[in-house]
Amino acid sequence: MKELSCVIFVEPTAKGRPRSTVIAGHVHTYTPKRTQVAEADIKAAIRKGAMKAGSFDPGMPLWVRATFFLERPKSLPKRVIYPVSKPDLDNYFKTLTDALEKYVYQNDSQIVSCVIRKRYCLPRQVPRIELKILEEVE
């Protein structure tokens, strides 16, 4: 059974909404620059783990666990460990799964089970994404 398990030391970034503009009378839709940079950073950070594990076969059902550790605002009391404000958890997950598409797996529709969480970093920790991907077997 194939497995990819790693810690991605990048600042978790929520997926930005697609933007549209009109160029020469045609509508052009694009992904915001911040999202593009975040996806490229994730690919670069996961390169070694992805090469070691290899990519998952197309059509293989996958199980994913991801924890997003966010920078704690300095004004926030230390007892608060859960970020219950925006951006939404699913937007962080969308950035991650889109970055791994065609790199670790063929399509993010292969993900059939997931556990996703967001937390604040503890003191002296850095923002990161802890990721584990397994082939889903019954």
SS3 letters across the chain: CCEEEEEECCCCCCCCCCEEEEECCEEEEECCHHHHHHHHHHHHHHHHHHHHHCCCCCCCCEEEEEEEEECCCCCCCCCCCCCCCCCCHHHHHHHHHHHHECCCECCHHHEEEEEEEEEECCCCCCCEEEEEEEECCC
Strands 111-120 and 62-70: parallel
The candidate with the shortest Cα–Cα distance to 127, out of 5, 4, 11, is 11
Q: How many domains does the chain have?
A: 1
pLDDT bin (cut points 50, 70, 90) of residue 131 is very high
Residue 86 belongs to domain with CATH number: 3.30.1330.70
Domain range for residue 111? Answer: 3-135
**What percentage of the chain exceeds 90 in pLDDT?**
45
Report the C-alpha dihedral over residues 101, 107, 109, 112, rounded to 10 degrees: -80
Average pLDDT value over all residues in the chain:
89
Segment 6-64, tens digit of pLDDT? 999 999 999 888 888 888 888 888 788 888 899 889 988 888 777 777 788 898 999 99
